[in-house]
């Protein structure tokens, strides 16, 4: 097996990530690739709207203006190849714009495009098949903005085989931007399932940028240099192992904890992490600190993929107005709540006076009184509250009326009200997900505008029943000592549609039995019961003995998701922090250890 090392820099976790990542990563000796992940679920709706307004738009413009365009000479001069899903709903338009920009600067990079994911031209056909949303069971919506299948890595690899310097894709699964490079570099095939899983693991670690190098880490105080945080570099080997590191002299931290947190970010079933080319099993993955800011990752297992692609549809759902009013002083929470109620009523009266339908919904979120914590909020009187008010309507005019009228509160309502922090109207977007047979979607690839035959879909027919589920020990506690979960574990949470996951990774393997004993699925459901808004909580727990971790998936706990939830945290980013306060019974010796006794 070759001893070649392929070095891949993860330069972007989302469409408007740091402008400093690319110049930093270009200082890495012998860097082979820069990869970019632009397409969060919220991005597709925005790009779909942009394309409706302008047929030449609908892609990540920062790719041209911030991330790649300004550094194109250095990227090409150092022979660093670029892979990005920045194409959104219009990858060819981005490729054409980049080619024009390059020619104007005297360069002629070979630019490949992966398309075929965009299903907007087949909406009538899809509607006739009457798909139901794979999470909620809802019917197929109207007013479609985007409809994209999540494609895999082999079309990317084919373009690299043909000599592409830059590959721009539409909707591919996030990790494919890394797996495609590794398929090309090492000659992996679709039947190399463990290697497909290893490459997907590498992609999952690198595609979220600085989240694996200390960003959003539980032990934030141990992470130096946020102002110059290092973006990740993966040193990838032909056996599937990868060493995660970062550029020399940068801030941040690469540790077993930072890597473990990112590995389980936005993961549901860690033994059935579905991507188009493989079904990944992370349960036995091993993490080893092999040097300062260097962690070796190995042990991912692969199963055949499913016979379906996931399709993400975004659609227009109307308008939302958001106002954030600070209220300061004695009885601030009560004053802010009364003020919000009064402003909602004034808005409704204005709609009645104009014979307009009522708001579809109104929401009040008091920021500063621990509203996100539900019944576990501390009863500490706050003298500063931000009254977040949200109104929703099918049309923009009622939203605009409310936003204009709410300004009157500064002179007509609570003393201590000051200037708004925000007041804006925005279109709202719904998310609909379903599965489509892989044979019904054909990836389309081109290089420098010339069409090429693309590899066919990777089929497999995986079923969950084929898995052998691991378990783990449960401690019997001697005594009545308790410590906080954060004393025993790291945590990371993230969203997928209307669910979120919380990963809990034991700081030491000996702590895991105590965590498993206390942190049952029912216990976690009770801890977050307020998020289910009266519905029956549904929580799954999964074991990952390889890295001494548990993963919890809370279904339906983010109504509306990233595009539609009015909550302070519509993306589940705060949930691990909330769970970190969970009390864990432990033996006295463990309690003394974690308390420094």
Helix (H) or strand (E) holding 202: helix 193-206
pTM over 0.85: yes
Domain boundaries, the chain: 5-120+145-308+433-452, 330-415, 481-594
pLDDT, one tens digit for every residue, the chain (597 residues)? 678 999 999 999 999 999 999 999 999 999 999 999 999 877 999 999 999 999 999 999 999 999 999 999 999 999 999 999 999 999 999 999 999 999 999 999 999 999 999 999 999 999 999 999 999 899 999 999 999 999 999 999 999 999 999 999 999 999 999 999 999 999 999 999 999 999 999 999 999 999 999 999 999 999 999 999 999 999 999 999 999 999 999 999 999 999 999 999 999 999 999 999 999 999 999 999 999 999 999 999 999 999 999 999 999 999 999 999 999 999 999 999 999 999 999 999 999 999 999 999 999 999 999 999 998 998 888 999 999 999 999 999 999 999 999 999 999 999 999 999 999 999 999 999 999 999 999 999 999 999 999 877 888 889 888 888 998 878 788 778 999 999 999 999 999 989 999 999 999 999 999 999 999 999 999 999 999 998 999 999 999 999 999 999 999 999 988 888 889 999 999 999 999 999 999 999 999 999 886
pLDDT score for 563: 83
CA 416 to each of CA 124, 236, 339: distance values in angstroms, whole numbers, following the listed order: 55, 57, 11
Quote the tokens at residue 425.
Answer: 């109207």
In angstroms, how far is CA 370 from the centroid of its own chain?
Answer: 24
Pair 223, 217: CB distance under 8 Å: yes
Q: Which two tokens stand for residue 254?
A: 């690469």
Contact 504, 552 (CB under 8 A): yes
Which residue is listed with tokens 């929580």? 539
- In 3D space, the residue among 297, 294, 301 whose CA is nearest the CA of residue 286 turns out to be 297
Residue 397 contacts by C-beta under 8 Å, 6 or more apart in sequence?
Answer: 356
Burial 257-266 (b: 16+ CB within 10 A, else e): bbbbbbbbbb
């Amino acid at each position: 097996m070759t001893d070649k090392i392929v070095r891949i820099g993860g330069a972007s976790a989302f469409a408007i990530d740091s402008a400093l990542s690319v110049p930093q990563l270009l200082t890495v000796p012998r860097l082979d690739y820069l990869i970019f992940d632009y397409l969060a679920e919220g991005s597709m709706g925005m790009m779909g709207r942009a394309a409706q307004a302008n047929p030449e738009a609908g892609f990540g413009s920062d790719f041209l203006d911030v991330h790649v365009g300004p550094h194109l000479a250095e990227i090409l001069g150092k022979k660093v190849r670029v892979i990005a899903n920045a194409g959104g709903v219009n990858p060819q338009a981005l490729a054409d714009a980049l080619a024009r920009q390059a020619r104007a600067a005297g360069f002629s990079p070979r630019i490949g495009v992966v398309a075929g994911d965009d299903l907007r031209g087949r909406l009538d056909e899809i509607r006739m098949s009457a798909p139901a949303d794979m999470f909620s069971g809802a019917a197929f919506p109207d007013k479609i903005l985007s409809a994209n299948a999540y494609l895999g890595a082999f079309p990317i690899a084919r373009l690299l085989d043909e000599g592409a310097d830059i590959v721009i894709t539409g909707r591919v699964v996030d990790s494919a931007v890394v797996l495609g490079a590794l398929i090309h570099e090492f000659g992996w095939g679709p039947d190399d399932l463990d290697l497909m899983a290893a490459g997907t693991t590498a992609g999952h670690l690198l595609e979220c940028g600085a989240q694996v190098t200390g960003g959003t880490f539980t032990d934030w105080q141990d992470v130096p240099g946020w102002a110059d945080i290092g973006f990740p570099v993966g040193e990838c080997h032909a056996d599937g192992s990868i060493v995660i590191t970062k550029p020399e002299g940068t801030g941040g931290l690469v540790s077993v904890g930072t890597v473990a947190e990112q590995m389980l970010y936005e993961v549901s079933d860690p033994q059935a992490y579905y991507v188009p080319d493989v079904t990944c099993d992370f349960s036995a993955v091993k993490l080893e600190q092999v040097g300062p800011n260097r962690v070796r990752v190995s042990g991912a297992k692969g199963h055949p993929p499913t016979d379906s692609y996931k399709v993400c549809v975004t659609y227009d759902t109307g308008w939302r107005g958001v106002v954030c009013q600070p209220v300061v002083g004695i009885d601030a929470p009560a004053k802010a709540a009364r003020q919000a109620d009064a402003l909602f009523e004034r808005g409704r009266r204005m709609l009645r006076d104009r014979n307009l339908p009522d708001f579809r919904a109104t929401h009040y979120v008091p920021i500063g009184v621990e509203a996100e914590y539900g019944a576990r909020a501390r009863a500490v009187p706050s003298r500063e509250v931000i009254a977040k008010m949200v109104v929703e309507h099918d049309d923009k005019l009622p939203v605009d009326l409310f936003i204009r009228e709410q300004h009157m509160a500064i002179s007509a309502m609570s003393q201590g009200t000051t200037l708004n922090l925000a007041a804006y109207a925005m279109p709202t977007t719904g998310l609909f997900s379903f599965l489509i047979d892989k044979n019904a979607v054909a990836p389309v690839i081109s290089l420098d505008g010339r069409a090429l035959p693309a590899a066919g879909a990777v089929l497999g027919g995986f079923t969950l029943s084929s898995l052998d589920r691991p378990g783990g020990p449960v401690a019997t506690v001697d005594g009545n000592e308790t410590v906080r979960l954060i004393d025993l574990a790291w945590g990371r949470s993230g969203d997928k549609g209307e669910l979120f996951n919380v990963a809990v990774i034991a700081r030491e393997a000996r702590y895991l039995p105590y965590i498993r004993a206390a942190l049952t699925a029912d216990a976690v459901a009770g801890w977050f019961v307020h998020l289910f808004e009266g519905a029956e909580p549904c929580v799954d727990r999964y074991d990952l003995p390889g890295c001494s971790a548990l993963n919890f998936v809370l279904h339906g706990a983010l109504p509306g998701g990233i595009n539609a939830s009015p909550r302070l945290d519509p993306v589940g980013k705060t949930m691990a922090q909330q769970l970190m306060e969970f009390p864990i019974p432990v033996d006295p010796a463990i309690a003394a250890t974690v308390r420094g006794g």
